[in-house]
A and B are shown apart, each in its own frame.
Chain A
């Protein structure tokens, strides 16, 4: 029998995920075609890996400054200027973190007081509600609906703003929907947000993986920079998930507060990863090649899913689509479990991203086209059998 430990209340209250069991099931099963993965299927481009090997050979095995190697922060600052015309001072306004995950946690911890509110748009990546709760904040959910193509409902947002939230977490291109915002959509959003005193924590980890229009960082909107904590990273753009490296850019005061926590809890991001990342910033060629491949897969899978009656809005970025399973007439956990058992195809149940999304599953297309094809034909058989048995 488990002895009841006296653990921290906030940790205890973190929703134990029913999804976890399903995940364990998938992880324990062999020869599954997985469309449930949240990372690229590409291995990190060789020139980046080679740089990491070289760093080790040269004996780069020490700590770096808390904020990260100045050379990397400078390179990043130049990259953001070149790419987005965004100007961040590499010495004061950039912090290198262990992935966006850490940056997100730090941002919530430095901004939120006990009971202060944070708007989280749903369906949401699982970490958002968790880091808000851990920081003692309260979540104001902003629900996006398939009827609006998972875009933000400004009317609903306006009502939430009345409750004086301290911050809003944005994520675009979005996990799990793949939906992103054009510059003019962002302007509209900002013109509403700027009327209240609110910080924008913008998770733009998938920025380079944008298909239909160029990505616009929130901080690049006129007047938005000093209210925005811009989180980005290397994991998805350069297929470097295991390097655990991201960055946070923002106003000096916020970045130094984040650095304070970071210096006690993380000290610094791993030096080998930092050196490898500086190589990633040299050229985007490999990133572009990967994006082109994702785009082909997206076109393939979205078309196929819609043909099967699983209505799927066209993702504009990232490598996920969020498909309605209403046609299958079962809830997402059941759908995912049965699909796994009967056809050995893994997808993530929509309820992992919010209890309201039991009619959806997240399908990742970060797998080779051949695998996607096999998966689609298995899903087709699965749906046919499910319909027959009714």
Chain B
């Protein structure tokens, strides 16, 4: 998978830049003065205890949550996979991917993606009957629908079995080789070599 290296590669190119980010939750400072830069090929891992603000920081980077201080500059489009999969109970993995392929105007081969994610068998099963791991795979499969340089992943390995985990690691490796970057909030072992770790 090549990500138009002319646009997104090079030492001085930053796909995502955040500076001085701070978030308040009530009267509690969740985090303060967090800065990061993400370049092509990099993987930034966010770490921290439960409630430290990893998800919130990812949401700020995605533009879903506004930070009290600081700013985010996005120079490339991103994919978002949050800890809630975005699947409707009646949606099948195939219908879900078809819907988002249409919404994004992506001419992706949904069958090939389902196969790549090990979802061919449950492709036409409603999400309410899927396991947590299958729903997770479906959500992660969205990043393969169209090529976007930045992947923002919240706990991407949650509920995945060993085989699913390997698939995701392969996807991340291929994405980085193609000039893409990943920012992931991860608990425990990461499984890929992170360019940087930020502990909140």
Does A associate with B in a complex?
no
> Interface residues, chain A, CB within 8 Å of chain B?
none
Interface residues of B (CB under 8 A from A): none
